[in-house]
């Protein structure tokens, strides 16, 4: 029997609350299938670990993780530990060390999910963001000069390599070709006169190899506006690290909220483990109250199943999320309900089992 080895980093705040439900759901899927299994190994890394050990993960953390098939991550960040330390030394370092250069984030208005937009059809919000996830504005290149003096200077460089731009743009073209969809590049060549002009040039160059794919190119400010005013323009979208970060939170806002937004950090060559996570943070404002919505994590579990070639189960989870949203009885407060986090997870499991038994 196929056994998938999963490293679980529940992390901080609502991270452990939602990841418990994700693991519950994946375990149920494996049991029902019978042809594969998951072996979950938990790592207590995060801000509490940092306060005890002075580091966000064990010294050999990356080496340890490299032996797994995938990583399932909750969320990182807690008041008391500077965000740039907690995020760089755990989440971002994993993305980089494992060359998870594709951040695949669906922005799709599921059946039953609310949107604040009016005058649009549900199918108008159905995009896949391909966010560059290894360099760009997040390259971590820079310096603080003359700190603490009246001449202090902060420098943060954007790093756009040909290698990095080509591979993400090519990945997006391949996806657009496979799915028969258009591809939109989002950049900012009018102001970022080196990096984004370079990005645009590479988009055109690579595009010449895909004459069958319809392309569009938008400036990021206009793209933000069109995502609200006319979201159906966007099908597959490729963009830089920072723009993708911001626009996918905007995407979450128009497709049910942060409690429903998932993302996969992929190393397409499978040389290293890929990582699956809800795109939301540790939400300290609601942590510990059992009100966090676990459906984003269930969606990322669905992405993990797709990644392992278990697409039937990946699709089943999305169907069940849609059923729960449409029925509207077992929802957390962000979606207008009163259910607790674990009740939503239990409902996913109940429906999985009922389907398998042919009851629904
Ligand atoms: P956040 O995503 O944690 O929260 C933003 C808002 O969305 C909050 O009001 C929160 O209550 C709500 N929310 C988020 N997830 C929810 C869920 N599952 N169910 C219901 N409501 C939900 O963003 P923030 O407040 O800007 O950041 C908090 C901390 O998380 C910071 O330390 C930040 O650096 C970190 N962060 C981590 C990740 C990650 O680990 N992937 C992502 C973003 C932010
Ligand atoms: C995300 C998060 C991270 C990012 C932060 C926490 C570093 O916002 O995954 O969207 O900006 O990539
Ligand atoms: Mn983000």
Q: Nearest to residue 26, comparing CAs of 7, 43, 40?
A: 40
Fold of 115-255: Isopropylmalate Dehydrogenase (3.40.718)
Q: Which ligand is nearest to the Cα of residue 297, counting in written order?
A: 1
Q: Which ligand is nearest to the Cα of residue 261, counting in written order?
A: 1
Fold of 1-100+268-360: Isopropylmalate Dehydrogenase (3.40.718)
Is residue 258 in contact with ligand 1, taking CB distance under 6 Å?
Answer: yes
Backbone conformation region of residue 321, classed left if phi is above 0, alpha if psi is from -120 to 50, else beta? alpha
Task: For residue 69, give the DSSP letter.
Answer: S
- Ligand 2 atom with the smallest distance to the CA of 249 is 10
Best probe residue, ligand 2, of 132, 281, 284, 296 (max atoms within 8 Å of C-beta): 281
pLDDT band at 259 (very low <50, low <70, confident <90, very high): very high
Ligand 2 centre to CA of 245 (Å) is 6
Question: Has residue 360 got a pLDDT over 90?
Answer: no
Q: What percent of the chain has pLDDT over 70?
A: 100
| Structure tokens, 210 | 């895909």
Please tell me whether residue 305 adopts helix, strand or coil conformation: helix
Note whether 185 and 169 are within 8 A (CB). yes
To the nearest 10°, report the CA torsion of 335, 340, 343, 344.
30
Ligand 3 centre to CA of 280 (Å) is 7
Question: Has residue 310 got a pLDDT over 90?
Answer: yes
**pLDDT at position 275, please?**
99
**Structural domain boundaries of the chain?**
1-100+268-360, 115-255
Asked whether this chain's domains 1-100+268-360 and 115-255 adopt the same fold, the reply is yes
pLDDT mean across residues, the chain? 98
pLDDT tens digits for range 145-191: 999 999 999 999 999 999 999 999 999 999 999 999 999 999 999 99
Place of tokens 């398998």: 356
- Ligand 2 atom with the smallest distance to the CA of 263 is 9
Ligand 1 centre to CA of 269 (Å) is 30
d(CA 337, CA 339): 6
pLDDT band at 359 (very low <50, low <70, confident <90, very high): confident
Taking CA atoms, 301 is separated from 30, 72, 189, in Å, by: 12, 8, 36
Q: What letters, b where the CB count within 10 A reaches 16 and e where it falls short, cover 291-308?
A: bbbbbbbbbbbbbbbbbb
**pLDDT at position 300, please?**
98
pLDDT tens digits for range 201-239: 999 999 999 999 999 999 999 999 999 999 999 999 999
Residues forming beta bridges with residue 275, ordered by sequence position: 71, 265
Q: Average of pLDDT values for 291-316?
A: 98
**pLDDT at position 40, please?**
98
Is residue 339 in contact with ligand 1, taking CB distance under 6 Å?
Answer: no
pLDDT band at 115 (very low <50, low <70, confident <90, very high): very high
Is residue 30 in contact with ligand 1, taking CB distance under 6 Å?
Answer: no
Q: Nearest to residue 29, comparing CAs of 260, 304, 293, 250?
A: 304
Query: Which phi and psi angles does 4 have, rounded to 5°?
Result: -95, 125
Please tell me whether residue 263 adopts helix, strand or coil conformation: strand
Q: Nearest to residue 317, comparing CAs of 332, 307, 305?
A: 305
- Ligand 1 atom with the smallest distance to the CA of 87 is 34
Note whether 8 and 26 are within 8 A (CB). no
Which residues sit with their C-beta closer than 6 Å to ligand 2? Answer: 87, 91-92, 245, 279
d(CA 185, CA 176): 12
Q: Nearest to residue 25, comparing CAs of 336, 353, 310, 355?
A: 353
Ligand 2 centre to CA of 212 (Å) is 33
């Amino acid at each position: 029997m196929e056994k998938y080895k999963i490293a679980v980093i529940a992390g901080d705040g609502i991270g452990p609350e939602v990841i418990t439900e994700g693991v519950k759901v994946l375990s149920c899927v494996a049991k029902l299938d019978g042809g594969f299994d998951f072996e979950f190994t938990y790592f207590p890394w995060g801000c509490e670990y940092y306060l005890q050990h002075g580091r966000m993960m064990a010294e050999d953390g990356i080496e340890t993780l490299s032996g797994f098939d995938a990583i399932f991550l909750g969320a990182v960040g807690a008041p008391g530990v500077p965000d740039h330390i907690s995020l760089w030394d755990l989440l971002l370092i994993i993305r980089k060390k494992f060359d998870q250069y594709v951040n695949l984030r669906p922005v799709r208005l599921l059946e039953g999910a609310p949107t604040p937009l009016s005058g649009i059809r549900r199918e108008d919000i159905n995009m896949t963001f391909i966010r560059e996830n290894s360099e760009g504005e997040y390259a971590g290149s820079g310096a603080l000069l003359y700190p603490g003096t009246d001449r202090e200077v902060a420098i943060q460089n954007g790093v756009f390599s040909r290698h990095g731009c080509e591979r993400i743009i090519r990945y997006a073209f391949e996806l657009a070709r496979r799915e028969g969809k258009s591809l939109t590049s989002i950049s900012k060549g009018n102001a970022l006169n080196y990096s984004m002009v370079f990005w645009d040039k590479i988009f055109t160059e690579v595009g010449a190899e895909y004459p069958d794919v319809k392309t569009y190119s938008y400036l990021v400010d206009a793209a933000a506006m069109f995502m609200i005013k006319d979201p159906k323009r966007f099908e597959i979208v490729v963009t830089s690290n920072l723009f993708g970060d911001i626009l996918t939170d905007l995407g979450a806002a128009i497709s049910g909220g942060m409690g429903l937004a998932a993302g996969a950090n992929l190393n397409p060559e499978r040389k290293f483990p890929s990582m699956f996570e809800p795109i939301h943070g540790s939400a300290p404002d609601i942590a510990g109250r059992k009100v966090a919505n676990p459906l984003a994590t269930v969606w990322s579990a669905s992405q993990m199943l797709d990644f392992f070639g278990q697409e039937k189960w990946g699709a089943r989870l999305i169907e069940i999320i849609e059923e729960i949203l449409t029925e509207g009885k077992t929802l957390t407060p962000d979606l207008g309900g009163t259910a607790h986090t674990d009740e939503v997870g239990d409902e996913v499991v109940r429906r999985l089992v009922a389907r398998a038994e042919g009851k629904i």
